[in-house]
Chains A and B, each alone.
Chain A
Amino acid sequence: MENHPTPLLQIHNLLLYFRTTHGVVQAVDHVDIALDYHHAVVILGESGCGKSSLARAILRLLPRNVAEYKGEVILEGNDVMKYEEEEFRQSIRWVAMSLVPQAAMNSLNPVIKVGDQVAEPSMVHLGTSKAEALDQAKSMFERVSVPIDFLQRYPFELSGGMRQRVALAMALVTMPHLIILDEPTSALDLLTQANIFNTLKVIKHEMGISFILITHDIATSSELADEVAVMYAGQIVEASDAPHFFTEPLHPYSQMLMASVPRLRSDQDPIFIHGQPPSLISPPTGCRFAERCPKVFERCKQEPPVVQSNGILVKCWLYC
């Protein structure tokens, strides 16, 4: 593998606010993430914590009601936030990083053959000829273990698992360095899910592609994770490597989240977290988890700093 002087992706202070009739929603609030080549980072969080908005913010796939969008997204040494929209489309989106959207299986165009859909990104973004692009689509189908004769089929002729694989092939076809997977298997069955994670592991090892995996499913996220970032109410509260995170998470929220997972192979009883995440329209000052935290104390009324210990980042007063 080649040596890279800079990490693949560095995100500093990324911020994405939406305008709504009720006020400004602080969906992504000063997020920092770093990701190396050939690595996978999992972004864990409950629904409404802003994890899908983070994916959209990184790929700049924004809805119309954006109130504020700023920060640094440094991809392979270049701050892509400074790019104009057209330049971003030509040289970043789907060329350097691509996305497997949430419910990807239902995001395929129902009236176009799946082969043509998979070929399209390389025709549009890389300017390859149709024949060449179809060839690439064919080899991608092999990569993700979809039979080649499925190229000629329409999405409705494929099962959910196969459609998910097609969506993955579509993200892979331009050979980006980074793929963002937004809840890639949450709608799929157990065995199909395990099969797709096997495919993802092969792709990661053989093609050296990095992944950002966005999910709420802690158990399956451990299938791919090298690093884990936990998101709560728009902020990253803990960023850690997988071995540390899955054995002893630091932030009280991560600890409780981990303890809430029902386990098949141990008799540990799951717990649950009382209450609900705060509204992102007017989030509380200080620590956003304080209201639900069993270890809350006086200082939690102030915004906690991000503490670094042994390469693990945690946003909590307990570790100051």
Chain B
Amino acid sequence: MDNPIPNSVMDIPSVNPPTGGEDSEVILSVNGLHVWFELRRFGFGVAGYVRAVDDVSFDLKKGEAIAIVGESGCGKSSLMKTILGLYKPTKGDVTFEGKSVQQLSGRDLQWYRSQVGYVQQDPYGALPPFMSVERILAEPLIISGIHNSEKRREQIRKVMEEVKLYPVEDFLPKFPHMLSGGQQQRVVIARAMIRNPKLIVADEPVSMLDASVRVEILRLLRSLQQRHNLSFIYITHDLSTVKYFSERIFVMYAGKLVEKAKINELIQNPLHPYTQALLSASSDPDYHNATKFREVPAGEPPSLVKPPAGCRFHPRCNRAIADLCEVEAPPEFTPQPTHSTLCWLYR
């Protein structure tokens, strides 16, 4: 790429991509999605369900980046895998450009796979150790029926320049173990980009990388997103990186999206007590931290097999309303037009 490397994420022009305005078309829509996994008893009969995703709905517009933040076990990976078409929903559906994803098969499914790129969390685990970079990047092209090796080479070269793996010739014959963590993650991103997808799903793309490389990769993803007007789902547990990355943020707790907001709204005015706890638990480097305690709720997220009745956060919540929160699950309240939450405090 001939454009100079910008000095920061924010230097990349215009935070809102050109066609990502309020009225642009919806590319992906998740409606009342439930993903439950059966628990078997000795292989026979159903002993219960793990309710990994429980009634989740949202729309993603073309060119929009959203972040889903949650702790491990909250169902964010199940949600992601259902969007990728790897899990079948128990109830509800995922539609991509108007087509229901779980009903796709054969050629249509292949088309869907070409439209959606997946950036895995652990680059080393995601790259086959016995394949060279060239072979790794050629694989998706071979599967999609590009048999002309000259053409493949051309595309591989283009995408590698895109993710700034140059000189390209030096990297092509290398195996994953010969690359640094950041370079491996670039290969993973190149692989996700190679079929020109419209949507990228990134599962904790930087959590395995060193601090100094992390920002570089986030910035690369952001610039790719804006240059190609991609829709983007960024899954993470790290609130501090979200700000530099996406327009909207969803907070997930025990299988539900408990708060949906624009980034700045959420950071300045978190509504749900769980979001408030998450924000107060994330620290910025500051020596004053050593002398104070962080107000964090005790306990751990509930079992998704038998989630608590009512609001799933009520056993840990210090603002729970008696006779309400433990009885009835809160519906979605919308105190501000772009900011909604599942919490009785805002009824």
Contact = CB atoms under 8 A, between A and B. Distances in A.
Interface in B71-94: 71-72
B237 A189 contact: yes
A217 B206 CA distance: 13
Interface stretch (B7-15, B34-42, B49-57, B196-204): B7-15
Interface residues of A, number: 48
A163 to B, nearest CB: 12
A61 interface: no
Interface in B184-242: 210-216, 218-219, 237-241
A261 B283 contact: no
Most buried by A among B182, B267, B282, B287: B287
A269 B285 contact: no
B285 A261 contact: yes
B244 interface: yes
Interface in B283-326: 283-287, 289-290, 293-294, 296-298, 300
Nearest to B74: A189
Interface residues of B, number: 45
B89 to A, nearest CB: 26
Contacts of A258: 285
A273 B213 CA distance: 7
A20 interface: no
B277 interface: yes
Most chain-A CB neighbours within 10 Å: which of B210, B215, B300? Answer: B210
B287 A194 contact: no
Given A198-B294, A270-B215, A225 B287 contact: yes
B318 to A, nearest CB: 13
A263 B284 contact: yes
A224 interface: yes
B282 to A, nearest CB: 5
A273 B212 contact: yes
B278 interface: yes
B278 to A, nearest CB: 6
Nearest to B278: A190
A276 B293 contact: no
B217 to A, nearest CB: 9
A272 B300 contact: no
A191 B71 contact: yes
A222 B283 contact: yes
B285 A270 contact: no
B284 A256 contact: no
A219 B290 CA distance: 11
Given A191-B297, A195-B298, A257-B212, A264 B7 contact: no
Given A190-B281, A246-B287, A260-B214, 16 more contacts: A46-B210, A189-B237, A191-B297, A193-B281, A217-B211, A222-B283, A222-B285, A222-B289, A243-B287, A257-B212, A264-B243, A264-B279, A269-B8, A269-B244, A271-B8, A272-B216
Interface of B: 7-11, 71-72, 180-182, 210-216, 218-219, 237-241, 243-244, 267, 277-279, 281-287, 289-290, 293-294, 296-298, 300
